[in-house]
Chain A
Amino acid sequence: MSTYIGQFITYAIFAAGIGLFSIWPEYRMLDDNEAVVSVTFSHSSKRIGACRELTQAELNELAPNMRKPNSCPRERHPTYLELRADGQVIFSDTLLPSGLWEDGKANVYHRSRLKAGTYEIFIGMNDSGTSEGFDFEETIGMTLAPGQNLVVGFDDQNNMFILK
């Protein structure tokens, strides 16, 4: 009898442990009055140098199927990105182009927590390697609700930021 009681207790403890730790304790990532601003996009920055028109002599040296009028450097500039809320920088990063030749797109994915409330959100991007200023920027007044996920992207076709 004691054997069965022992087994019953073992199974009960095992089941309780499994049931309990499959849902408890709760893991909290945000406070009740917090929202998230997520910046995520891929972008091709400008090339590090201007394209040059090839001379006829240079073109003649190339195979017929390789004759393009312009020669452009493959490498691209690092992209500087800055996100501000009410003038305070909440995220900034210099994104390197992907690829071995640094000729691919730069990628960004970042999540920032903010207190819920009304903000003037600024997002600026410098992709031309100039020392000052931004090539693209957007400022928008916005009220972030608790638990809201504001996604900041970049539309490469229209060269503008998108905030959803």
Chain B
Amino acid sequence: MLLALQKAARAGLGILHRPLARAFGPAENPLNHLGALIIFFCWIVLISGIWLLIFFRTSVSGAFESLEYLTHEQWYLGGIMRSLHRYASDAAIAALFVHIIKEFAFDTYRLKRWFSWVTGVPLVWMLFVLGISGYWLVWDELAQYVAITSAELIDRIPIFTDSMAGNFLLDSALSDRFFTLMAFLHLVGLPIFLVFGIWLHVFRLSRPSINPPRRLMAGTLLCMLVLSVVSPAVSQDKADLALATAAVNLDWFYLHMYPLVQTGSPGLVWLLLVGISCLICFAPWLPPGKIAGPATVDLENCNGCQRCADDCPFGAIQMQARTDGSKYELEAVVDSDLCTRCGICVGACPTATPFRSQSALIPGIDLPEISVASLRETIREVAATLTGDRRILSFACSGSSTAAKLRKGGEAVVEIKCMGQLPPPFLDYVLSRDMADAILLTGCSDGRCRYRFGTDWTEDRVLRKRDPRLRKRIDETKICRAWQDLPAHQGNVLKQINTLRDSMRDSPSKKLPDGELGAT
């Protein structure tokens, strides 16, 4: 059931991803910067909100009138700020939904990532409460509807004695102090918690992406500005508690659950909200979770070079003073709670070389699930099946489904956890020992790596920009990199490998083509 949902979500995202990747490129694809985009929208909301605050009057009659002034009298600035405030809030929610679906679809919420996933749940609640409280402040018909419906929801919590909703049925029951309270909550209280929540959300990530690429920010801001000019946000009729609200133009991004209060019941809405929140919170521990052992350090082979700590996308490795009396200054220590078992640290380890002559190949850091020694054996076995004069050995990460596609196409494939797990000496090993004539590396695309930086680090290592670098004796053009976008498009990898093979036939001495699908 869960796997089917994830597959469906991936297929849905695939429909979005392909045109976006074409239009923006992998580096600026909005789908690869959803979290950062949400934060950017929050910045727009904050700055526009400060302008609105300057003119906002916290009283029953003043609230509506001050916003009317901004919308109509000061339309050129206040009106645009108000529209930006509204639309950026909505855009944040839209991006938030896709963000959640994407993390779910690619199963990037388990193991160590549970922390970001679970801390995201109160963030969603805060964002909604913040947005909904903003609608109260306008004090138009929509605000009246939101106030009464919200109060009906709150009344359902069995800790209040007096009915809160009753306060929104008579003008005499409503005081200016209520608006002061709401303004405080909307402008000060909730935003402080939101900032703290965002910090907590990315707390355990190394190199968190806080800002989207500049061009994406500029384009998004321009998009919001144009929308604000073309279709300015306006108030509905002023709230009148003597009248029952008959119809409202709902903001469906924030208020999609509200009609259920009337058509169903407040209890049903709470059941859904709390039930879905609990389900999301427990999702990292629901089957089919795979829990393998974390990376382990072998002090006899660890020289304390720190590359594993630098490359770990989750800050799971710390360097500390040697505890074994070795001549080296530092040693790596793995925090098993933070380790996602991706193996990127193994790919960074300079001692993970298959050329070592010792009987047991044990690097400074290794994954028990797929050890470097077992990887060498697998490479030997798979390479032995290659025949002919255009032998291509493929490496595919298990996070994508390219391995299955390649096998189905009759190709020789070595599957690893993440492309970042593959130490560059293994590429040297395959080519210099004449196990294959060329190598295809295929995995998730830039910004889409299941373990965040696997493809980035591999790309840099092969191009000799990052340690451990590919040895100079290897012609890197014999290593074709075909980073994939989404499983829906991974059929292309067969086309890619055929192009590579044709190229080898036409001009074996010429440069081999580089990956054309992704980040190369």
User: A: which residues have CB within 8 A of B?
Assistant: 3, 6-7, 9-12, 14-15, 17-19, 21-32, 34-36, 38, 40-42, 98-99, 104-105, 107-109, 111, 147-149, 151, 153, 164
Contacts and interface: CB of A to CB of B under 8 A. Distances in A.
Contacts of A147: 243-244, 246
A36 B244 contact: yes
Contact of A107 (B161, B219, B242, B253): B161
Contact of B247 (A27, A35, A41, A153): A27
Interface of B: 19-20, 22-25, 30, 86-87, 90-91, 94, 145, 152, 155, 161-163, 165-166, 169-170, 219-220, 222-224, 226-227, 230-231, 233, 241-253, 258-259, 262
A104 to B, nearest CB: 6
A34 B262 CA distance: 15
Contacts of A9: 23
Given A9-B23, A10-B23, A28 B90 contact: no
B439 to A, nearest CB: 31
A6 B251 contact: no
Given A10-B19, A19-B227, A22-B253, A29 B246 contact: yes
B40 to A, nearest CB: 13
A30 B144 CA distance: 14
A164 B91 contact: no
A18 B91 contact: yes
B156 to A, nearest CB: 10
Contacts of A21: 90, 251-253
B242 A22 contact: no
Given A107-B162, A109-B155, A14 B244 contact: no
20 contacts: A3-B22, A9-B23, A10-B19, A10-B20, A14-B91, A15-B227, A18-B253, A19-B227, A21-B252, A22-B253, A24-B252, A26-B250, A35-B244, A36-B244, A40-B166, A107-B162, A107-B163, A109-B165, A148-B243, A149-B243
B20 to A, nearest CB: 6
Given A10-B20, A21-B251, A25-B252, 16 more contacts: A10-B23, A14-B223, A15-B227, A18-B87, A18-B90, A18-B94, A21-B252, A21-B253, A23-B251, A26-B248, A27-B248, A27-B249, A29-B244, A29-B245, A29-B262, A38-B166
Given A19-B231, A40-B163, A42-B163, A28 B252 contact: no
Given A22-B90, A27-B247, A151 B170 contact: yes
Contacts of B166: 38, 40-41, 109, 153
A20 to B, nearest CB: 9
A15 B170 contact: no
A30 B247 contact: yes
A149 B90 CA distance: 31
B172 to A, nearest CB: 9
Contacts of B155: 109
A42 B455 CA distance: 64
Nearest to B220: A11
Contacts of B22: 3, 6
A28 B259 CA distance: 9
B226 A15 contact: yes
A111 B230 CA distance: 39
B169 A38 contact: yes
B512 to A, nearest CB: 27
A5 B253 CA distance: 27
A98 B155 CA distance: 13
B306 to A, nearest CB: 40
Contacts of B227: 15, 18-19
Q: What 3 pairs between A and B have smallest CB-CB spacing? A: A6-B23, A40-B166, A36-B244
Contacts of B161: 42, 98-99, 104-105, 107
A11 B223 contact: yes
Contacts of B165: 40, 109
A25 B249 CA distance: 7
B244 A26 contact: no
Nearest to B166: A40
Contacts of B220: 11
B26 to A, nearest CB: 13
A26 to B, nearest CB: 5
Contacts of A149: 169, 241-244
B162 A3 contact: no
A112 B269 CA distance: 20
Contacts of A108: 163
Nearest to B171: A164
Contacts of A31: 246
Nearest to B246: A30
Given A3-B23, A6-B23, A164-B170, A148 B163 contact: no
A109 B163 contact: yes
Nearest to A10: B23
Contacts of B244: 29-30, 34-36, 111, 147-149
B24 A26 contact: no
